[in-house]
Chain A
Amino acid sequence: MDDPSVEKERLARLPISGDGPSSLWMRPVSFAGLLRILHLVAKYPRGISASELNLEIRKLAMYLTRRGSSPAPTTLYHCRNTLVRLEVLRRSAGKLIVNSGSNFVRTLLGQPSLGGTDLTEASREAFAGLVLQNLDCKVNFFDLFMPSRSTYSVEEFRVSGQAVVWRREQLLEGLSQVVLQRRESTSSLQLNTATEIKCVLYGLRYWARDELRLIDEYFLEGQGSIMYPVLSPGDTSVPQTVGAILSLLPVGGEWTTFSVHDLAASLCEHRRLPLAVLFTAIRWLHQNHSDRIVLIPTSRGFATLTARSRQREEFALRGYYHDTKGRYISHVRVHNSLRCLSNVLTT
């Protein structure tokens, strides 16, 4: 249960609304790149200066932008700043050194650096632990998922976090704001400035969803984007998800049509499964029972009816299953006779 007084106090201390920009340092950085930088810094027990580090990163191509180019000085600043703010590195006498007192950092040092944007699960969990213990990250984003909790572990966040909806709202005179609101609650955050939106929506939300896989997200017309905590990959099972879909089939009758969005809400959001698990389950069902599964596509244009940019279009399409023919599947028709498989797969 939410405690209104605790909630009020917590929301009142949100730095986003009044404490200036110092708490808004999050940017969309690659955590795989951060891990490589950490390993590089670890080679310098007495520390390395920022300029030397920049040179080394560029020389060894340890951090590339999404377009595959060498990063700008600002990007490297944000990488260093993120590592320092998350207490992975610390500054000492003008140099950066590894904060080896942190268990999370020790875990990260023990993990291999994979190429590109890949991270091991252990690395991802360690970074997630560092993010969730950071006050700025918590109050600006993650606490909204965790009512009445001031501290929580990664596991606790995954298991007991609540869903949050975000949407853009039009204000007067052409201005707009982004509102993040916990589902089934009035607790909310308003993002009014470009910096707030950049740090929270494209920084923290991006970290949580794409880098750390703490949350997943789907879009519902008329409601907004629904973000919900997800279990770690080890706790999710495609066969169980297939079983869960099939258990929704009624006894008797011939066919049942499921909306993919409804499945996302009832299976993914409530069971804390990433959308990818649902889509893999649908693919498995279609490949193994194509005689009893009919995929129902929708037009891309209609699926992105209210999208105003290419990015928004891509985001709206995240909630549709993209099949092997390149179609966007909005509904799945399943023969009710497959219900008999649900028990086998669930167990």
Chain B
Amino acid sequence: MSSPLERLGLHFNPFEPSASGAPVTPELWLPNSWGGKLREMLDMLGTGRGVKAVAIAGEYGGGKTYILQWLFRHEFPSRRIKPFYFDNPGIQFYDLANSLLRQIGRKDFAKFLWELSDFHVGGFQRSLFVKGFEEYLQGQRAGRARPEVLPALQAAILRAGVTKDDEIAHRLARIIAETPVKPFFEYRDFIAGGRNTLVAEREEAPYFSAILKTLQLGAGIKAVAFLIDEFEEVALQKRLTRREAHDYLATLKRLINLTTNQELWLVVGMTPAAVEITRQLEPALWERFTGEGRYSLQIPPLTALDAIEIVRRRLEAARPEGSDLPSRLYPFPEGFESVLSPAVISSPRRLIKVCFYAISEADSTTLPFSKDYLISIESKAYPAPEQEEQ
């Protein structure tokens, strides 16, 4: 006897009930009206000078996270841009930088620096590099510390073009040298005033620039991109003090400034309310951020054709090989988009959720799904407000 899913011509249910973010399937598809405009913006920003930032505005369940994941998995790598994804970062610049460094890891970062320096280290210290980074770490762990390596590393870091600042080069050299005894690090290491701090007061930004440069040179990439999801959720956990509220905007400002001078891209996903409030609080910042609106994408609602394509592609990914089915949308009927309400068809999250339940509740229903069946599924997933209130 065939399983319920086999009856539907599927290996698995290709729709997820949470319908939150992007599916794990490797290929992500964007409607042309979304992807075309985004590519156009990235092309324009890539050729020009100045701020490289894009704001993506959309309602909850409207596709912001999906777009950021599409940029993360496909679009930025295809442009030789290394993306870093941040979900609900803290309110301060420190939180973001800290999150970045945790993603990279101290050892990998030190190795980047090591490899960059390798070619530029001269004199008797050259022998250190011959056996490679792992051997160097082992030697350090075994207690054969070599403080004399610091000046050579510092000089090599300067020659590698990571920074032009002697002190920053020295600090970066220490990151390599101290990795064996402290294999992790945080941005706190760069904040002035703390124990063993690496950074002079108010000098975080140049260090952050050096970190970005290291990533860029070490990974052989054109630029680094920060993809920040749910930027507005920074304030969700608690009531912010006035200073903290302004930290939110200060972080945005600092990031935007960095995109002007560094090979850094910034893409921020925001709700329409976050856009509105940021624009009202800091009109000049908002204009600068979005290039007077040119680099702000208001995610459009899905069209019926978009919805059909999403359902078709999801189903296709779950088909057993050699399936012979009456239609590419099976078990959904042709014209299902006119059965479901416009509110469901236009919203990715609602569409995916309704499709999930249509598949998971289909044990004994007639196939392809009837109009009444789809309507009953929609009304269960999204009951009308009157029914809710009863």
Give the interface size class of chain B: 35 or more
Interface contact A331-B273, CB-CB below 8 Å? yes
**Which residue, A220, A292, A306, A337, has most C-beta atoms of chain B within 10 A?**
A306
Contacting residues, chain B, for A254 (C-beta < 8 A): 301, 303, 342, 346
Interface contact A330-B341, CB-CB below 8 Å? no
Encode contact with B along A285-325: 1 for CB under 8 Å, 0 otherwise: 01100111110111111111111101001000000000011
Interface contact A221-B280, CB-CB below 8 Å? yes
Contacting residues, chain B, for A335 (C-beta < 8 A): 342-343
Which of B172-180, B184-192, B380-388 sits within the interface?
B380-388
B283 at the interface (CB under 8 A from A): yes
CB distance from B329 to the nearest CB of A (A): 21
A297 to B276, CA, bound (A): 13
Residue of B nearest to A294 (CB): B343
Interface contact B236-A290, CB-CB below 8 Å? no
Which of B46-54, B240-248, B309-317 sits within the interface?
B240-248
- CB within 8 A of B271: which of A255, A291, A306, A330? A330
Interface contact B385-A302, CB-CB below 8 Å? no
Interface residues in A, total, Cβ within 8 A: 39
CB within 8 Å of A: which B275-333 residues: 276-277, 280-283, 298, 300-301, 303
CB within 8 Å of A: which B333-383 residues: 341-344, 346-347, 382
Contacting residues, chain B, for A221 (C-beta < 8 A): 276-277, 280-281
Residue of A nearest to B388 (CB): A324
B274 at the interface (CB under 8 A from A): yes
B30 at the interface (CB under 8 A from A): no
A261 at the interface (CB under 8 A from B): yes
CB distance from A168 to the nearest CB of B (A): 11
Residue of B nearest to A329 (CB): B273
Contacting residues, chain A, for B236 (C-beta < 8 A): 299-302
A290 to B347, CA, bound (A): 13
A66 at the interface (CB under 8 A from B): no
Interface contact B237-A301, CB-CB below 8 Å? yes
Interface contact A223-B240, CB-CB below 8 Å? no
B229 at the interface (CB under 8 A from A): no
- CB within 8 A of A305: which of B237, B277, B346? B277
- CB within 8 A of B232: which of A290, A291, A302, A325? A302
Contacting residues, chain B, for A257 (C-beta < 8 A): 59, 272, 298
- CB within 8 A of A222: which of B274, B283, B347, B389? B283
A43 at the interface (CB under 8 A from B): no
Contacting residues, chain A, for B276 (C-beta < 8 A): 221, 259, 261, 330
A330 to B274, CA, bound (A): 10
Residue of A nearest to B249 (CB): A305
Interface contact B235-A302, CB-CB below 8 Å? yes
Residue of A nearest to B346 (CB): A255
A335 to B346, CA, bound (A): 10
B233 at the interface (CB under 8 A from A): yes
B60 at the interface (CB under 8 A from A): yes
A106 at the interface (CB under 8 A from B): no
CB distance from B244 to the nearest CB of A (A): 9
Contacting residues, chain B, for A222 (C-beta < 8 A): 280-283
Contacting residues, chain A, for B281 (C-beta < 8 A): 221-222, 305-306
Please give the residue numbers on chain A whose beta carbons come within 8 Å of chain B beta carbons, in ascending order: 220-223, 254-255, 257, 259, 261, 283, 286-287, 290-294, 296-308, 310, 313, 324-325, 330-331, 333, 335, 337
* 15 pairs, A vs B, C-beta closer than 8 Å: A221-B280, A221-B281, A222-B281, A255-B300, A255-B342, A287-B384, A291-B341, A296-B272, A298-B232, A299-B233, A299-B235, A301-B234, A305-B240, A308-B241, A313-B239
Known: A299-B236, A302-B274. 13 other contacts (CB 8 A): A221-B277, A287-B386, A290-B343, A294-B59, A294-B347, A296-B59, A296-B272, A301-B236, A302-B277, A304-B239, A307-B239, A331-B272, A333-B301
